Chain A
Amino acid sequence: MAESTLIETSPLLRTARQVGGFLVTLAVTLLGLLAVTFVIGRVVPIDPVLAVVGERATTAQYEAAREALGLNEPLLTQFLIYVGDALRGDFGRSLLTSQPVLSDIARVFPATLELSTIATIFGVALGVPAGVLAATRPGSWVDQLVRLIGLAGYSMPIFWLGLIGLLVFYGNLGWVGGPGRLDTSYQFTFELDVTPVTGMILIDSALAGAWDVFANALTHIILPAGVLGYYSMAYISRMTRSFMMNELSQEYVTTARVKGMPEWRVVWVHALRNVSVPLITVIALSYANLLEGSVLTETVFAWPGLGLYITNALFSADMNAVMGGTVIVGATFVLLNMISDVLYKLIDPRART
């Protein structure tokens, strides 16, 4: 901002003001998320009262339930009640599981987290080197190949890629496990031997020392994570390439080359280090985008995560679960964006002012 550069302020005050600004933005955005879901919830053609009392209720019962649900209050009051409940983590009960929505989400979220974390690891491990290689040889066949792989990633329906993967690697070659997180035969061993700590099968089974379960879970996660990871790789490699191109044209790179520094050191140590700052933002963004990709991937692979939970809820007209899930995904998305912003400012001194 222009005015803050004019007035000299102490670094502490500036940091405090920035933190305050972040918190206000966060609060406003989260309130907005709730407002959007509230509005969506109100236009649903499903009558929430009927869902509670059933079709055969008398008018008196219906009215009583309507009063109890707070639907006779003015809209603004209803919204405030909704926000208050949401802040206390109360999104109502799911019709499908008759559990509170929040505890349902806490149960399914680790599966999504596990899937998208492994996918991001794939994406970073392949995307960053690919982008760097492409940037060092612009116009070469490596560059064209990376560009083409990236474009294909942007153009492929993720659920279709998942189905093709299942067809080839599970159906024809038998290299990987099928849908779900474990084989049915291991499901029992898992429940017997492994105490759930994090809800992530790979970590839990490793902690319990149940390595056969671990190996089985690995064969199941590798395909969906690979499919999701392909998408983040497409994005990460493209961004890495453009950041790297920009960096390699800087003067310090020329200086390093003139001094006779080996090319690999110039590229992989000097330039990549400077690129790592914007890359963190990109990786955080792609991590957040995987939440979205997970809806379709989880449907294809019958992966019991948040995406599958939301779609299942949708088809049973379980609006509390749909809205709760949407708010949680939105909030996670916002938080990841914020974290990447803050990290950016912490790492790059130029971005602090």
Chain B
Amino acid sequence: MSATTWLRDPNPRSRLQARAGQAWLGWLRFARNPLAMTGLVIVLALLFAAAAAPLIATHDPVAQELAGRLQPPGSGGYLLGSDEFGRDIWSRLVFGARITLYIVALVTVTAPVFGLIIGTVSGYFGGWVDTVLMRVTDIFLAFPRLILALAFVAALGPGIENAVLAIALTAWPPYARVARAETLTVRNSDYIAAVRLQGAGPGRIILGHVMPMCLPSVIIRVTLDMAGIILTAAGLGFLGLGAQPPLPEWGLMISSGRKFLFDQWWVATMPGLAIFIVSLGFNLLGDGLRDVLDPRSASR
């Protein structure tokens, strides 16, 4: 029996087989969508670049070589040209992928978890807890994200960790909203009542029986938000409030290339292309995932 017949078996013999079969069907639906596959390839390429950065890079990302400064792409062994300190732009981009992933990873493990807790607690208890928590959420939603992040960074001081903290502090409210909406739909269902009659406390019900129901919509939202996180981080870097030199952060690289925009266009253009391609990849992937995980919107 080959693997696909096992996966496609209409009468699965175990829970594992049923789950694997569902996942396989989802994957087939996802793989039919060329745009989503493009996104997946881009994101995998980013992961690969970050993991194998020392192997892919042709130069040291921070070593300065003033003799070879501002070389155009392709000349002198500089694949995408060199910057004002003679650093190879290609190598800096490859190492910069690590910083981008670091920021995205840190934000996506903090903000959604926080939002999930606020949202499920708010939706499950209702009443004044709901009112208070949702008011707080609304207040945070009322700020434009970048401006609030700017104010936070201004208070905490520039740097990657503070940028991550600022982005996470501004990113959680939408997750809380999504989680609350999902919680409201399951709160009064029979299975929750059954668990409650068995004597489970609110903490146990929320953690074990409500949160798992909220996960798919939160995950979709996270994937769709990743591009936004990358863009906000790059914006903070561009303003000089995110990663600090000589780190090869992409937004920071654009801002230093700004001085040479009209004469050495590649210094500012190349990192921007990298940001564009990566966030496009996350957007395409998120769109595809939504179509697979959320059948309600699949008919679009």
Contacts and interface: CB of A to CB of B under 8 A. Distances in A.
B142 interface: yes
Q: Which of B155, B231, B275 has the most CB of A within 10 A?
A: B155
B167 to A, nearest CB: 13
Contact of A164 (B139, B143, B269, B279): B269
Query: Which applies to chain A's interface (DSSP): helix, strand, loop or mixed?
Result: helix
B46 to A, nearest CB: 13
A300 B251 CA distance: 13
Contacts of B227: 154-155
A334 to B, nearest CB: 5
B147 A337 contact: no
A299 interface: yes
A31 to B, nearest CB: 8
A337 to B, nearest CB: 7
Interface in B251-272: 251, 254, 258, 261-262, 265, 268-269, 271-272
A245 interface: yes
Contact of A296 (B152, B238, B258): B238
Interface in A8-36: 28-29, 32-33, 35-36
A160 B269 CA distance: 8
Contacts of B155: 40-41, 43-45
A311 B276 contact: no
Given A28-B135, A329-B147, A171 B262 contact: yes
B144 interface: yes
16 contacts: A40-B151, A40-B154, A41-B155, A43-B156, A157-B238, A157-B272, A157-B275, A157-B279, A160-B271, A167-B261, A167-B269, A288-B144, A291-B147, A292-B147, A326-B143, A330-B143
Given A36-B140, A45-B157, A159-B251, 19 more contacts: A32-B138, A44-B155, A156-B275, A156-B276, A159-B235, A160-B272, A163-B261, A163-B269, A163-B272, A164-B272, A245-B300, A291-B147, A292-B144, A292-B147, A296-B235, A310-B150, A322-B151, A326-B151, A334-B142
Interface of A: 28-29, 32-33, 35-37, 40-41, 43-45, 151-152, 154-161, 163-164, 166-167, 171, 242, 245, 288-289, 291-292, 295-296, 299-300, 310-311, 314-315, 319, 322-323, 326, 329-330, 333-334, 337
